[in-house]
Structure 1
């Protein structure tokens, strides 16, 4: 018992001594309640300039608005005694700003790390800004309430000038100003080299990442701008086209380039202006050779190809690139380039089966010859689109001062017009002019059909009806651009493609009308995705209000009260002006009909109707004007809705579903 008492007495003495010691040091030591340690008790610590703040011995940058506190959870990845506490203000873009007052050295240490503990989920944006370079921001989702380290790879900013590091907690969200974040170990570290272990591929000239096999003079390594599916790499090259029409980028191998297998040169370009990009091989014992590509798109990455397969056994030591070749510039145009490489030539037409109904598509179906009456050349498609996504088209130079100069396609034999006798041609023109199509050259008399180029600045397909020539003998197809007129210039340009004969198509030339859901003929704009059997058939009763050729046959399980026919728009239905849903129905029985809108972010809307006429086409209307501002995505029909008194194979015919 005496031993115990003595121990307790001694313990009380120690506690009292500690208390008195702390009480006497108020002027020298910050108030850290109930602890017997300070953030850093080592006066000899050497500051690490890459550590911003660890709230202990590397407290190198004072963070405004951040309080130094005890770690609320010394566990996991962070057992530090002290951390920072940041309370996010109310505005959505309040930020924690670290101003270096001078460019941050990102040459080696360029990955930013920060440990965070918070109960707030949201987006953390970290941004470099404030210097002479464009700002750069990265984001991470904060989802864990435990200590978590977040990493932001700014290695593509290694040669940029930024003065500030800015952090937006719960970026873009208004708060009540009480959200707390514990932060620690803010620092820059070296970035893991992604090129370690990468084997050199000498068919790649330079990709500005791990395959920088040849130096590209006058081109600066920069972060890839405007990343896309075409180019998502970290780095690219920046080239400023200097004064003069023939300023060039010259890549000197210093020895013969191996073109034996890989002889198609490719380059990705983000261009500021349209023009010609000329690629030239020179510098060896062989004669120089050059190829052109047309840059028609600006502000986006495009890959251009140059077929040098003819040079497989030749000797060249240099690649020369002329941007906007032949054009005097002001010396300020900035081009970004990437992934310069040689690839093996492949024949895209190797497995293509000849289709003799195609006169010429300037790709794989070149089934005719062109006598040299009009200047023409096959080039890369200057404006790929949904109407014409071909790689290659024909550029035609027409003498617009000659009313009857012509472009002739010689088939070399009789054209088979027995079933396919509608001539189609796609044209891209900058002027609206007459267009004459003519068949000639066989044993039959020539046949002319006039048309009109009526669309400018975009591809359009034109159709000429030669159905009265099914039994005739013609060997040539002739086109007269601006036919019969002499009001053009001597060098009017037309781009043409996909010249072919097809069978009659009643939907040719029919413009899409998205207010029509489906008419089961030319306006099949939205698909059926569920849930009962359907088939498009000939109209079983082409009379009265519905003389359409085709309708939809619906087989409904009449013993199932709620089986449905669903049309999915794949996005919000525009009901702002047209919100009266109409449907034509031919039914053998009178039954309830429910129409429903659903699939958006708002509650579904049902409108009941009734099929009240049997054995005659009848149009029914459902008023959805109350949903004008809604975002429904599906139309659903319930035939005999809510009833189960039918058969398992009740038949309904429907047509012309549309909004008015």
Structure 2
């Protein structure tokens, strides 16, 4: 009996902290920053990387908006909640690493249904409130948020959509804060079953993030170096070539000569071009010239790439053949968009990955000839197309390997994909000498 009791004592403290990591601003993120009142820079240089509490290279910097007494950071979950009872009764808690300007500053987390909660209708939509207070000045500390109240009992756990973080609630300060390692409640994370290969899946702002972490011997801030602002955003057109829910949003911030740049490093080191020689990415925005410089550790250009965004606010696919750089170490890509022009245009970027085949700037979803559904898909992928003859359909994984190849007839076809593991794939169909690609996600 004594041994059993001792075991229970050991297990119970662990249960109190069995949350999940929502964001560490380096490799892990399972949410989306939908709205902030102040100025937030994601992946900012840690102000004290020698701290025993948080020695990460990167964190988030946040500057409060003095015009808002209840300045909020809205983090939307990448899935649905199931059970928040443990957070209400205190057997589990949320925690965040915080670097603040002083002790005694009130902090708050609110779990809410953002489709109901609004700026002027408190307490509607607010499921529960959790509070904490800072204790040190300009040092990292792990803040644990304790249950405070349940403002709107009508909000069910399953209807909670967002975690709202507030610094110095009820004030009009413009102080600067840093935060990191956000641990929040568990939810049905759509990325949990997706395996990320850091050599192939570089970034999609949904489930993969394998770029932007600087080498330890290199001073760095957000995204190693960027002139403008790079954040996560909702995909404005997921019915076309890009079916993802989220993407990256980049806003230019040129100098007096119109120069604007952002540099991305590859988490796994130099790109392995022995099998996958194509660097792929998608861009959405105004028609402008693009230049990408693929460089080695010394900043020497290994492969240059010149192109243009040709259509206004339409996703376009770009594939860069890096085979001329085989045998050289390509460790970073430097993007220049609309150089020598002074503007603050916003561009969306997504689906940065390596492949063994070049992806054409075509898509099935926007074609009137073809209809593909559903996406994501669990077992059967439906394909309808109009044509006079049979066509060949292929399913290709992210490494370029053909997993399925079959001729299909005009009209409605069902392609069984039960044997595929969870992840992202391409469906390739060739009609009248035009090859169409459709990215889809297989889920369990």
- Specify which structure has the bigger relative contact order, considering alpha-carbon pairs within 8 angstroms and separated by 6 or more residues: 2
TM-score (normalised: structure 1): 0.30
TM-score (normalised: structure 2): 0.43
Larger Rg over CA atoms:
1
